With several copies, the nearest count.
Chain A
Amino acid sequence: MKYFVKVNGHDHEVVLTERLGELLVEVDGEPMDIVYEEVDSLGQVLAITGEGAAFGVSIEGDSQRAGITIAGHFYDIEIEDERERAAHAAARAAGAGGGSVKSVMPGVVVSLLVAEGDEVEEGQPLLVLEAMKMQNEIVAPVAGAVVRIHASEGEAVSAGAKLVDLKAAEEA
């Protein structure tokens, strides 16, 4: 099985092949010699690669998105297998042409600075979001038109919630 693994935004390909009861591991086209040992059911893994380089690895997440910690550093993981990648590519193609500004953190919308139909510049503040008692301006990532506003003033929003739909100027 081939996996497409984005690690901190960088693409890697991992191929796992079972042969005679052994799992052969290939990363970015090169075979990787690895001992993989799960310590518990909480995502603690021992990995020993090559000539004995040892790593205590912690992994958490679901089948699409995971976080890995190795020696204190965090690796953000997005993973797709071949079938998923094909399915996702088809979905992206179908949905192209629009864009949503999402909340990167949970918080409360303190004030809306634009209205539906407004034309906005890239970097123009769209709304003020308060999280952990700090106020943050959420700005337009591109120039364009405000198609729809999903949040109202005083509303609590969760991380990943759609705030504003924009139609990019070049699409208009």
Chain B
Amino acid sequence: MFDRILVANRGEIALRILRTAREMGIETVAVYSDFDQRALHVRMAHQAIALGGELPSESYLVGEKILDAAKRSGAQAIHPGYGFLAENAAFAQAVMDAGLAWIGPPPNAIEVMGDKIISRRAMKDAGVPLVPGLTDAVDDVAEAIAAAEEIGYPVAIKAAAGGGGKGIRIVRDPAEMDTAFRTASGEAVSAFGDGRLYIERYLDQPRHIEIQVLFDAHGDAVHLGERECSIQRRHQKLIEECPSVVIDEEMREKMGEVALQAGHAVKYEGAGTVEFLWSGGEFFFLEMNTRLQVEHPVTEMVTGIDLVREQLRVASGEPLGYGQDAIEMRGHSIEVRINAEDTAAGFVPSVGTVKNLRFPGGAGVRIDSCLYRGMEVGLAYDPMLAKVIVHAHDRDTAIRRMRRVLEELNVSGVRISAPAALAVLEESAFQEGDFDTHFLEALDLSKPHGNEEQLAAAVAAIYRRHRAADRALAVSGAARKGWRERSRAMTSAYSQAAGRPSAGGDA
């Protein structure tokens, strides 16, 4: 096993990886942009190396800086987390060329699975079921219309290099094709620098169901069951759960087998996820995510397996050491993503400084968070601040537990997505398991879901009255304030007399 690893990421996922590494007795190296100097992942690591720069493009996305930090820190391996360089095959190769271990799948697997068109072709060859559609890119609107006629409406236009919902348009009628094709292509160029689009059938009442897989470097593999991720908006997931109400043991085995087939086809290693669209008992390959996913904790809660631990074991060459029989699924787990966004105003991003912070507690509650009091939430980084995960013996109790947990949670300073998640959990259709990927978009979140308007009005008025009273007292009160209360935190970077460069300076 490694003695020291570098985590090339930030936020909750950096902390999540650091935690498992610490628990395995592995030393941890964090990297950080200037924006993240106060971040928890920096404070919780054994070592921290400044990358310099405010933006991701100046820091976490610069492979050379990461490799340099790894060299300086003496790390033997790099864990990319998700996002940033996690699915960058060239970087994975550069890590290996530098003599370091890459905690992720082989570059070739990343490359194949990272291209929607190439991956669909590979999956077709491997016998994995695909959504009816074309495996080749369509070059223009006319070609797209011809393809759609063949497949049958409605169809979906998707970016070949896409992900995260960018560059996707649904077309229900040939008349809509022109606008859809142009905007999808524009978005694809701007987001991925690659405007190629492909077309496939659009499924009715589809559910997004994915299978977690684990491959070692010796050809052995297991699947860890499914995750239900249908509560999403513009392909951004909000609530995930394990298991899914529509998947029984037989279906799970079938989908698991197919997922392993998909991985074997690209000689996969490590942890990965095979995403399927599920509709009326049929399932179709969507894509394979060649990394740890945001929603991996629900699988961990139900199987009892620490996926980061398994990633580290596989990357250091250890065999899995267990077979499919060892995987048992117990109880039910739900995850809610706590994003900085105003869900009542169409999920627009919310920025600010985190003031109050109160996390829920109690049995069956897991908090994966990078939040701290005083944290600045800006636009340059992902708006996901925390994940709240619950586990209980059945789905009904897990839902009740998550509702209780979201009622306890309090984050002030930015608007968060928790009220939207609570609104979903309060819907009887959700409670009965009757939903698809359109559920969240169809829910009217601008309508208030709380029933305490009069109380809120009274509290607001009394609070304002108290503040006005404070203001009147402020001048006389100021003199009494102690020297430890300050209006803002102070920052300094000191270097020693001898003039060696400060460790916190630019790398």
Contacts and interface: CB of A to CB of B under 8 A. Distances in A.
- A touches B in complex, CB < 8 A: yes
Interface of A: 1, 3, 5, 7-10, 12, 14, 16-17, 19, 22-28, 31-60, 62-63, 66-77, 79, 104-107, 110, 130-135, 159
Contacts of A63: 464, 467-468, 483
Interface string B239-281: 0000000000000000000000000000000000000000000
B419 A27 contact: no
Contacts of A132: 349, 379, 383
B418 A51 contact: no
A162 B422 CA distance: 33
Given A24-B496, A42-B412, A43-B412, A73 B450 contact: yes
B503 A52 contact: yes
Contacts of A17: 497
Interface string B333-349: 00000000000111011
Most buried by B among A36, A38, A52, A131: A52
Contacts of A66: 460, 463-464
Given A12-B453, A73-B450, A132-B379, A5 B356 contact: no
Most buried by A among B406, B459, B483: B459
Contacts of B355: 42-43, 60
A39 B375 CA distance: 8
B431 interface: no
Most buried by A among B164, B346, B358, B379: B379
B494 A23 contact: yes
Most buried by A among B406, B453, B487: B453
B494 A22 contact: yes
Which of under 10, 10 to 19, 20 to 34, or 35 or more describes the interface residues of B? 35 or more
B487 to A, nearest CB: 8
19 contacts: A3-B460, A5-B460, A14-B458, A17-B497, A23-B465, A27-B457, A33-B494, A33-B500, A38-B491, A43-B463, A50-B503, A51-B47, A52-B503, A53-B46, A57-B456, A66-B464, A71-B407, A72-B403, A132-B379
Contact of A72 (B47, B374, B418, B453): B418
B504 interface: yes
Given A63-B483, A105-B345, 12 more contacts: A7-B456, A10-B453, A23-B492, A34-B496, A37-B37, A41-B484, A45-B459, A52-B72, A55-B452, A70-B455, A72-B403, A74-B419
Given A76-B344, A104-B345, A3 B503 contact: no
Interface stretch (B92-100, B130-138, B185-193, B361-369): B185-193
Nearest to A47: B459
Ranked nearest first, the 3 interchain pairs of A and B with the lowest CB-CB distance are A73-B450, A56-B43, A35-B504
A16 B418 CA distance: 32
Contacts of A72: 403, 406-409, 418-419, 422
A53 B28 CA distance: 10
A29 B46 CA distance: 25
A104 B348 contact: yes
Contact of A27 (B37, B73, B454, B503): B454
Contact of B356 (A3, A42, A50): A42
Nearest to A51: B503
Contacts of B38: 37, 39, 46
A74 B488 contact: no
B7 interface: no
A63 B462 CA distance: 11
A21 to B, nearest CB: 10
B37 A14 contact: no
B410 A54 contact: no
A34 B452 contact: no
Interface string B275-299: 0000000000000000000000000
A28 B37 CA distance: 28
A42 B72 CA distance: 33
Interface string B404-439: 001111101101001100100000000000000000
Most buried by B among A31, A35, A77: A35
